[in-house]
Amino acid sequence: MSLSSHTQILTNFFSSTMVNRMPSLIDEIYEHIKKARKVLRNVVHKTPLDRSGTFTKISGAKNVYLKLENLQKTGSFKPRGAYYKIYNLSPEEKSRGVVAVSSGNHAQGVAYAASIQNVSAKIVMPIFTPISKIIATRSYGAEVILHGLTFDDAAEKAREIIESEGRVLVHPYDDKFIVAGQGTIGLEILEDLKEPDIVVVPIGGGGLISGISIALKKKLKERVRIIGVQTEAYPGVLAKLGMTRFPEKPMSTIADGIAIKTPGELTTRIIGDLVDDIVTVNDDEIAYAIFMLLERAKTVVEGAGAVALAALLAGKIDAKNKNVVTIISGGNIDMTRLIRIINRELVRQRRLIRLTVVMPDMPGSLSRLLDILAQTRINVVDINIDKYSPHVEPQKVEVEIVAEIPISETLEILMSKIEDIGYYVENAEF
C-alpha cells in the first residue's frame, strides 16, 4: 500500500473515532506526565536531543534530531514508566513486591526502578532469554525466574506468582502510570525544541507513543504530527485498528523489542485518538539505520530503537523542510547480532569483498599479491591458501581473500593490477 493511501485510510479511521474521544482520561494522564517529570528528575537522565547533519541531508528535512533514549539508564526508555508505576503504588502494595514478564528492556527497567525504591521485584523470563539480559536484570537486584519457552508461558508463571504471593504486576505498556512515565520524553523534547513539526516513535505495545502523543498534542495540538513505526513482521496496532491483517505466521525480526502481536487496550485507544499516521519498515531498512547510526552518529542502537530513523531514511515520511524528531528508544543490542549487521551492510554497500586469485605456487608469489593489495589501499580481513584441493591445478595455489575496500570502483583497479602480473582472478564478489 502506498504511503498516501495508507495515510488516507488512517485519517478516515481517526475521523470515525472522533465521537469516541476520551478527553477526561487523556487530561488525567497529561497531569500525571507533568507530575512524573518532577518525580523522575533525579532518577533518570534527561537524554540528549542531538541534531544530525547527515540524516538531515539524506532525508531532505529542515532538521533531524535524535532523541537518544539509548543513553538512558539501563539502555532504554523503560525505567521512566516502571519507576512512576511503582512510585504510585500504596505502601501496602509496595510491601508485597512487584512482578513483571519480559525478556528485554522492560525487565531491566522494572528491576532498576524497584531497586532504588527498595521494593522486591521478581522478573519472569522465557528460558531461552540471552544470558546477557539475564545478568543485566539480576545486576539491578531483581530475582529472575526462567520459565517456559515463550512469552505466554512466562506470563502464566507470573500469574501464578501474583495469586500465590500477592505481588503487583508492572505491565510493560497498558497502564496509565506507565504511559505517563514514558510521556516525560515528550516534555523533554519541548524543553529543547519549542515546536517540532514531526515526531517519529516506535510502536510495540503502544506505551511509548501514547505518552509522547499526549504530552505533545496537549501543548501543540495539530501543529505537530505524530507518526508511529512498526515492523512489517509485527504490525500489531495496525491490525487491531483494522488497517491490515496480522501475518498468520509472524516472521522473526531484528526489532524484537517491538515484536508484539497484541497491543494494549488503553494504548490502542490513545493511538487511535492522537496519532496521525503509522508506517511499517522491514529488517533491511532497520539494519541500514542501525549501521548508519553507528557509523555516522557514533551511537549503538538496537533494532527496535532504530525503526523511527529507518522509516525516515527509507522515505516513508515526508520530512521536506520539517523539523523532525526521531525517538531512538534503546541501545541494548546483542554484540553478535551487531557484528552480523555491520558485515552484512558492508557487503551490501560493496565495501567488503571476497576475492579468489589463482597464482603460481612458488616463493614470493603471495608477497607480490599482498603488495598490490597494499598499493590499492585494500585492507585484508581474512586470507586462506589452498594448494591441495582436487580442483587446484598442480604448481598453482588458490588464495581466497576477504577484504575491505574504500570504494567499489577500487575492485576494478585491483583486478587489473593482479592480471598485469600474470595472476588469474577466478572470482570476485561482494
d(CA 173, CA 65): 25
Residue 329's alpha-carbon distances to 70, 368, 390, in angstroms, are 6, 50, 53
Q: How many CB atoms lie within 10 A of CB 75?
A: 23
Backbone phi and psi for residue 75, each to the nearest 5 degrees, phi listed first: 85, 10
Residue 422 is placed in which grid cell? 600474470
Find cell 508505576 and name the residue. 85
67 is a catalytic site residue: no
Find cell 521536506 and name the residue. 320
d(CA 212, CA 289): 22
d(CA 240, CA 236): 6
Residue 48's alpha-carbon distances to 65, 167, 269, 375, 420, in angstroms, are 9, 35, 30, 43, 54
The catalytic position among 52, 210, 213, 329 is 329
Residue 69 is placed in which grid cell? 533514549
Helix (H, G, I), strand (E, B) or coil at 100: strand
Q: Which helix (H) or strand (E) element contains residue 35?
A: helix 23-39
DSSP string, 128-165: TS-HHHHHHHHHTTPEEEE--SSHHHHHHHHHHHHHHH
The catalytic position among 67, 78, 133, 316 is 78
d(CA 64, CA 327): 11
Q: Which helix (H) or strand (E) element contains residue 86?
A: helix 78-87
73 is a catalytic site residue: no
Q: How many CB atoms lie within 10 A of CB 28?
A: 14
Q: How buried is residue 393: exposed, middle or buried, by Cβ count under 10 Å (0-12/13-18/19+)?
A: exposed
Q: Which residues are identified as catalytic?
A: 78, 329
